[in-house]
Amino acid sequence: MGDAVTLEQFESDAEAFLRANAPERTERQFEWGVGSDRVALFADKTPEQDQAELAAARVWAKKVFDAGFGWITGPPEYGGRGLGRDFARAWQAWAARFETPPVGVFSVGLQMVAPTVLTHGTEDQKRQFLAPLYRGDIVGCQLFSEPGAGSDLAGLATRAVRDGDEWVVNGQKVWTSYAHLADVGEIICRTDPGVEKHQGLTAFLIDMHQPGVEVRPLRQMTGGASFNEVFFTDARVPDTLRLGGVNEGWGVALTTLMSERAAIGTQAGGGGGMATTRLIELVRHMGRADDPLVRQQLAQVIIGTKVAGYTNMRAMAKIAGGGIPGPEMSISKLALTANMVRTCELVSSVLGPELVADSGRWGTYSWGELLLGVPAMRIAGGSDEVLRNILGERVLGLPREPRPASV
């Protein structure tokens, strides 16, 4: 049970804390030609900027957690307050009204690693990792994808071989967000190559700072390096950091993947009013507001955004009622990428050559960075093709896609 506090008192405490620690957010009206015109999915930061943002995020997360707002719905025995989701929603609504440091660096740890530890971790693991993750003391990352096994997670090749009370890990992971800043990673390894591929996997928590772990940034076609590849060379993991049973890592991975799709899918609303306003202004300033084809494309973006938002609300209501989200998470993730593709098609129609050749006009060439970033989102959290197969086979009951014969 959570502490004896009413929702009214909780909101009063939240408002008092925020007013004492952060400036209130001022309403910003989008104005064409004013400020930066950058439109990007992934931030391109220098190492110095990364470290400065991380330091500010740690300070803020510590304040929030110590004041009782860091893990509102979490079990009290692990550092949470044990309150309902209506309290968490109330906090989010109040926090949105104030200017606070960005805390995206903690997103993977909180949205993917922590729920998995809570579900599959031992008592010692829960006490060791959960409160520090929510307090910002440690940063988490997810080590699943590999060069030869992206969406086909069960085809991964990174090996973990038992050596007494430890496991020795060798292999490579790729597309790992925040690996260069992470303290702990959730990794899935092959521990029995002699059985069916889903059955020979085991999950671990691994120290990202130990010998044998090398993180290299991946330069993308946007010009930035928002992801990393991670190499493991005889990296040792104590068996006490194994998540779940030996060769039972597939179930652990599914917990993480469902959390990941829920986190990504909640973005499917498409950025809210400011993003829609910017698209409308782009159409207007490029003199295409009366073009019926462009107007239809714009309408499809707005409709898709609204429908995705309603799907998310349905999924969140199911979770709030104690249910387990099913196909809604896959649908939400597909809706997100579909809306992004529609947006890029609209921008391409409106801008034409100015999307790829810098004319110097504000609000034109900058859209290219968004266009180059969208393909990554069609892969992250499960590729569009894999998610369509999941919906077709497991929800609609369609025949399974033919699999290649095993060798």
The DSSP secondary structure of 136-177, one letter per residue, reads TSS-EEEE--BTTBSS-GGG---EEEEETTEEEEEEEE-S-T
Look at residue 272 in the predicted model and tell me its pLDDT: 43
Look at residue 313 in the predicted model and tell me its pLDDT: 75
Q: ∠101-102-106 over CA atoms, to 5°?
A: 120
Reply yes or no on whether the pLDDT at 270 is more than 70: no
Look at residue 254 in the predicted model and tell me its pLDDT: 85
Task: Please indicate whether residue 319 or residue 187 has the higher confidence score (pLDDT).
Answer: 187
Q: Are 72 and 83 in contact (CB under 8 A)?
A: yes
Among the listed residues 262, 14, 259, the one whose alpha carbon sits nearest the alpha carbon of residue 114 = 259
Reply yes or no on whether the pLDDT at 269 is more than 50: no
Q: Which CATH superfamily is domain 270-395 in?
A: Butyryl-CoA Dehydrogenase, subunit A, domain 3 (1.20.140.10)
Look at residue 159 in the predicted model and tell me its pLDDT: 97
Model confidence pLDDT, tens digit, residues 362-387:
999 999 988 998 888 888 777 888 88
The DSSP secondary structure of 169-205, one letter per residue, reads EEEEE-S-TTTTT-SEEEEEEES-TTS-GGGSEEEEE
Confidence grade of residue 12 (pLDDT, cut at 50, 70, 90): very high
Mean pLDDT along residues 163-168: 98
Query: What residues have CB less than 8 Å from 101, skipping those under 6 apart?
Result: 53, 56, 57, 59, 60
Q: What percent of the chain has pLDDT over 70?
A: 91
Reply yes or no on whether the pLDDT at 23 is more than 60: yes
Confidence grade of residue 264 (pLDDT, cut at 50, 70, 90): low
Task: CATH number for 141-247: choose from 1.10.10.1100, 2.40.110.10, 1.10.3210.10, 3.40.50.150.
Answer: 2.40.110.10
Two tokens at 266? Answer: 């909640």
Least confident of 30-34, 130-134, 263-267: 263-267
| Average pLDDT of every residue of the chain | 88
Two tokens at 165? Answer: 């009370």
Reply yes or no on whether the pLDDT at 1 is more than 50: no
Task: Please indicate whether residue 199 or residue 330 has the higher confidence score (pLDDT).
Answer: 199
Domain definitions of the chain by residue range: 38-138, 141-247, 270-395
Look at residue 196 in the predicted model and tell me its pLDDT: 86
Q: Tell me which range, 234-243, 260-269, 337-346, 398-407, is most confidently predicted by mean pLDDT.
A: 234-243
385 is catalytic: no
Among the listed residues 203, 180, 176, the one whose alpha carbon sits nearest the alpha carbon of residue 117 = 203
d(CA 230, CA 41): 22
Look at residue 59 in the predicted model and tell me its pLDDT: 98
Look at residue 407 in the predicted model and tell me its pLDDT: 42
Model confidence, pTM = 0.84
Task: Please indicate whether residue 334 or residue 200 has the higher confidence score (pLDDT).
Answer: 200
Among the listed residues 369, 371, 363, the one whose alpha carbon sits nearest the alpha carbon of residue 345 = 371
Reply yes or no on whether the pLDDT at 186 is more than 60: yes
Model confidence pLDDT, tens digit, residues 285-337:
999 999 999 999 999 999 988 888 787 777 666 665 666 666 777 787 888 88
Look at residue 321 in the predicted model and tell me its pLDDT: 62
Look at residue 150 in the predicted model and tell me its pLDDT: 64
Domain 38-138 carries which CATH code?
Answer: 1.10.540.10
Out of 229, 260, 328, 369, the active site residue is 260
Two tokens at 253? Answer: 């991975």
Location of structure tokens 């391109």? 44
What is residue 110's DSSP assignment?
A: I
Look at residue 46 in the predicted model and tell me its pLDDT: 86
Model confidence pLDDT, tens digit, residues 42-86:
777 888 999 999 999 999 999 999 999 999 999 999 999 999 989
Mean pLDDT along residues 116-141: 97
